[in-house]
């Protein structure tokens, strides 16, 4: 057993006679030397260990000693910083604002922009978000840009690296009108994976944990060590626009799969492995799945979470189980006001959960026992604007800026997320006297603990030459994950798979396949591999019609009513007096999107389905195969009798989908390929049934078309 001597700073004994078991680098029962990456500072050698001389003073300071815990290192570094420097650490935002495009490289050379240099040098910012460049920019350029950012940060006083985050970007959602795949938050450099809801359909904790590990490896290859996800929200309101990024509405699945995915991302069961993991931000605590009327609290009409089924405790219980099992380093509250509810006899304050002492102190800190860093959702803690609004700081509209930041800190908040520099919010607290420099220092210490735990202080650099190779090395695994999520709901006469035993329906000696919603080249490539098969764009000549559409999308920046799951029901203005949709169609618009455009796009999907059914009625031998990309649940009951095969995908490339339909692997039939997915939440029978269900209860619509957990798991 190896023992070490004492380290003393400012008269405080930080470590004496210990094995450094609380070091981030204490892995599997021993200290492990990290690789030290430097550009402008020196490497120190102390005994058998190497350290980064981050402040370039020629000696090992406690904050540079990776053998110490992240908390001890942060406690040593914070007093060395001025209050303004500490404030610079307390914002996670897009450098330069949306107009500047954040830190995404604009060329392959990946030059640093003025806004990035100013953020690091003048604002002392060390936390920012990656908004991804277009497909004309390579993964190599992203890695190159990140290395340049880190080199500049290393050359600045104290050498504090930049912790770069991203929103969840792995799930490939379908465009509602065309079913074309598009990454969430636009990340074309990352291969297509299924949506998180698809991980709920897979329902295999060990496999989902491995997916988390692969996702972490892809992000680390690009220099990204932090993700603003995953969502552990219990998706009890099926109209909620963000259902796609949850694990669904089955309690046990949300807990086991959410825990497994976080552990895979982190690289170990609790906390983060600095050699292989990334920091995760569990959201949206204490759960945002019970949005009133299917709206979303990004918008004022949707600012309430409601609990007509008195089921608040189940939502919190899910969060509690995952937090205690995985111990994520960071948590993000949700915007919502939890309307007129109590928890164990305590009334929940009628303010955004960011400002709730019950949620963030009584439950999160005391009952759950969590002690990590709280970062706000964007614009939940913000300066009052000129028009008197306060972002999504619901319930605090009449407060001063100082009052708002004071309550956020009292509740245990540490960092602010917003589109522009949040330093002014913290300074408002100091100028109004609602915060003290001690409050600022305490928040900065907690934020820095996360960076120390991530391993960035020792080596923030990546191998630019291997970035694209590593990211793309998981393409086949992503393809297989999409296939694993594929959920077969109806398969009359065992029509699937389409193979050499498929019946020639019209007796003309050939098996003709019509397709809609699939790429021409993709479908033609598959039919040529099966004897007597051919593709056609004329449905009247077909034996089989493969039609692919999307479930109707919601819109989380909000209209004045929830977006229905049915394709034909219009968005109706919400009637808060009767707690349901009114009789008035919505004419709302938000950020260039309109309720009317959503209605029209949904009707086009209905028309596509109806056109295929009409062709089937004219030609009774035609077999209709309908695949719906399940961004949210969808209403299909009116059409079901006319559909021979129905399946749900959760974000699939054409190739992954056709591999399932034709039971193929690399162009060769493979009988081991079988449907395996099961629904992570129910498919309601009608929009009326959805409206009558209660937002906080899972899978409670009357007579669902398919219940949660349903799926045909063999051909």
Question: Under a CB-based contact definition with an 8 Å cutoff, are residues 647 and 628 in contact?
Answer: yes
Q: Tokens representing 664? A: 């193929």
Q: Which residue shows structure tokens 């981050």?
A: 54
pLDDT at position 14, please?
Answer: 46
DSSP string, 355-415: G-HIIIIIIIIIIS----EEBPPTTSS-PPPTTS--TT-TT-TTS-HHHHHHHHHHTT--B
Angle between helices 520-527 and 654-661 (to 10 degrees): 30
Domains of the chain: 7-77 (no CATH), 88-472 (3.20.20.300), 476-692 (3.40.50)
- What's the CA angle centered on 565, arms 562 and 567, to 5 degrees? 115
pLDDT at 175: 81
Bond before 497 cis per omega within 30 degrees: yes
- Residue 578 DSSP symbol: T
pLDDT of res. 386: 62
pLDDT at position 387 is 60
Q: State the Cα–Cα distance between residues 623 and 545, nearest whole angstrom.
A: 6
Query: Residue 329 and residue 531: Cα distance in Å, rounded?
Result: 55
Q: Which two tokens stand for residue 110?
A: 């990946």
User: Which 8-state DSSP code applies to residue 571?
Assistant: P
- Walk across the sheet containing 226-227 and list its strands: 373-374, 330-333, 279-285, 226-227, 163-166, 127-129, 91-93, 416-418
Cα→Cα distances 271→32, 163, 578, Å = 16, 16, 45
Nearest to residue 699, comparing CAs of 243, 351, 360, 79?
Answer: 243
pLDDT in tens, 294-351: 999 999 999 999 999 999 999 999 999 999 999 999 999 999 999 999 999 999 999 9
Place of tokens 């060390």: 126
| Residue whose C-alpha is closest to residue 197's, from 282, 261, 286 | 261
Q: What is the pLDDT of residue 1?
A: 29
Could you give the 3-state DSSP secondary structure of residue 572? strand
Name residues whose C-beta falls within 8 Å of residue 291's C-beta, 6 or more positions apart in sequence: 237, 240, 297, 302, 304, 305, 306, 336, 562, 695
CA distances from 552 to 148, 178, 401, 567 (A): 42, 12, 39, 7
Tokens linked to 712: 């045909």
Helix (H) or strand (E) holding 449: helix 437-454
Residues of the chain with pLDDT under 70: 1-18, 183-185, 385-389, 419
- Please name every residue paired with 342 in a beta bridge, in sequence order, or none if there are none: 347
Note the Cα 708 to chain centre separation in Å.
22
CA distance 704 to 550: 19
Q: For the chain, give the longest Cα–Cα distance.
A: 92
Candidates 330, 229, 272; CA nearest to 453 is 272
- How far, in Å, CA of 116 to CA of 472, rounded? 28
Compute φ and ψ for 227, nearest 5 degrees. Answer: -130, 135
Helix/strand/coil for 515? strand
Give the CA distances from residue 144 to residues 319, 421, 461, in Å, rounded to whole numbers and listed in that order: 37, 25, 9
Nearest to 377 by CA among 271, 438, 296, 258: 296
Among 674, 715, 678, which Cα is nearest to 699's? 678
Can you tell me which residue has the tokens 């190896």? Answer: 2
- DSSP run (H or E) holding 475: helix 475-485
DSSP per-residue codes, 658-697: HHHHTTEETTEE-TT-------SS-B-S-HHHHHHS-TTS
- Grouping H, G, I as helix, E, B as strand and the rest as coil, residue 594 is strand
**How far is the C-alpha of 633 from the C-alpha of 627, rounded, in Å?**
13
Can you list the positions of beta strands (E) in 541-638? 544-550, 572-575, 580-585, 589-590, 593-594, 623-629
CB within 8 A of 191, min separation 6: which ones?
Answer: 471, 472, 474, 475, 478, 479
**Residue-level pLDDT at 51:** 98
pTM over cut 0.85: yes
Burial group, residue 17, by CB count within 10 angstroms (0-12, 13-18, 19+): exposed
Cβ atoms of residues 216 and 279 within 8 Å: no
Say what the pLDDT of residue 168 is.
86
**Distance between CA atoms of 383 and 621, rounded to whole angstroms?**
65
């Amino acid at each position: 057993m190896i023992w070490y001597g004492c380290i003393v700073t400012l008269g405080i004994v930080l470590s004496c006679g210990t094995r450094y078991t609380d070091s981030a680098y204490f892995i599997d029962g021993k200290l492990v030397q990290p690789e030290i990456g430097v550009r402008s500072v020196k490497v120190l050698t102390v005994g058998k260990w190497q350290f980064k001389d981050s402040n370039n003073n020629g000696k090992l300071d406690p904050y540079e000693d990776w053998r110490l815990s992240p908390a001890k290192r942060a406690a040593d570094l914070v007093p060395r910083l001025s209050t303004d420097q500490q404030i610079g650490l307390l914002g996670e935002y897009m450098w330069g604002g949306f107009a500047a495009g954040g830190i995404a490289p604009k060329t392959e050379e990946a030059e640093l922009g003025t806004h990035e240099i100013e953020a690091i040098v003048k604002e002392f910012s060390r936390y920012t978000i990656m908004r991804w460049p277009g497909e004309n920019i390579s993964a190599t350029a992203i890695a190159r840009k990140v290395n340049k950012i880190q080199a500049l940060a290393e050359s600045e006083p104290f050498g504090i690296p930049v912790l770069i985050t991203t929103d969840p970007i792995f799930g490939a959602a379908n465009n509602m009108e065309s079913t074309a795949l598009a990454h969430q938050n636009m990340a074309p450099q990352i291969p297509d994976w299924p949506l998180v809801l698809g991980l709920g359909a897979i329902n295999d904790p060990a496999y989902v944990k491995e997916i988390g590990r692969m996702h972490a490896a892809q992000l680390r290859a690009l220099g990204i060590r932090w993700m603003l996800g995953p969502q552990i929200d219990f998706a009890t309101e099926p109209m909620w626009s963000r259902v796609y990024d949850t694990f669904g509405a089955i309690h046990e699945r949300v807990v086991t799969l959410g825990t497994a995915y976080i552990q895979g991302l982190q690289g170990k069961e609790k906390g983060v492995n600095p050699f292989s993991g990334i920091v995760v931000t569990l959201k949206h605590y204490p759960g945002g799945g019970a949005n009133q009327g299917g709206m979303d609290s990004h918008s004022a009409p949707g600012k309430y979470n409601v609990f007509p089924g008195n089921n608040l405790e189940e939502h919190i219980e899910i969060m509690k189980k995952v937090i205690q099992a995985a111990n994520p380093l960071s948590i993000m509250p949700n915007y919502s006001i939890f309307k007129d509810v109590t928890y164990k006899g305590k009334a929940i304050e009628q303010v955004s959960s960011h400002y709730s002492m019950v949620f963030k102190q009584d439950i999160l800190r005391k009952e759950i026992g969590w002690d990590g860093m709280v970062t706000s959702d964007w614009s939940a803690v913000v300066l009052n604007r000129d028009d008197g609004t306060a972002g999504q700081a619901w319930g605090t509209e009449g407060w001063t800026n100082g009052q708002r930041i004071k309550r956020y800190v009292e509740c245990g908040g540490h960092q602010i997320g917003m589109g522009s520099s949040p330093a002014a919010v913290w300074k408002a607290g100091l100028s109004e006297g609602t915060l003290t420099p001690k409050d600022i220092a305490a928040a900065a210490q907690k934020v820095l603990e996360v960076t120390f735990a991530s391993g960035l202080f020792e080596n923030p650099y990546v191998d630019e030459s291997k970035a694209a190779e590593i990211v793309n090395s998981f393409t086949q695994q992503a393809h297989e994950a999409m296939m694993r999520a594929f959920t077969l709901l109806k398969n009359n006469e065992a029509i699937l798979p389409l193979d050499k035993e498929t019946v020639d329906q019209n007796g003309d000696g050939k098996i003709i396949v019509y397709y809609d919603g699939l790429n021409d080249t993709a479908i033609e490539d598959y039919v040529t591999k099966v004897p007597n098969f051919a593709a056609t764009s004329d449905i009247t000549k077909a034996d089989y019609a493969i039609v692919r559409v999307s479930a109707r999308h919601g819109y989380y920046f909000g209209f004045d009513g929830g977006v229905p799951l049915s394709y034909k029901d219009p968005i109706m203005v919400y009637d808060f007096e009767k707690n349901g949709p009114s009789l008035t169609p919505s004419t709302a618009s938000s950020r260039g999107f309109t309720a009317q455009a959503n209605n029209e796009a949904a009707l086009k999907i209905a028309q596509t389905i109806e056109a295929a059914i009409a062709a089937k009625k004219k030609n009774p031998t035609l077999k209709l195969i309908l695949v719906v990309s399940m961004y949210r649940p969808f209403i299909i009951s009116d059409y079901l009798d006319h559909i021979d095969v129905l399946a749900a995908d959760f974000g699939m490339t054409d190739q992954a989908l056709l591999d399932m339909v034709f039971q193929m692997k690399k162009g060769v039939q493979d009988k081991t390929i079988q449907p395996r997915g099961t629904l992570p939440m129910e498919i309601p029978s009608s929009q009326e049934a959805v409206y009558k269900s209660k937002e906080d209860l899972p899978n409670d619509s009357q007579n669902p078309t398919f219940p949660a957990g349903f799926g045909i798991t063999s051909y």
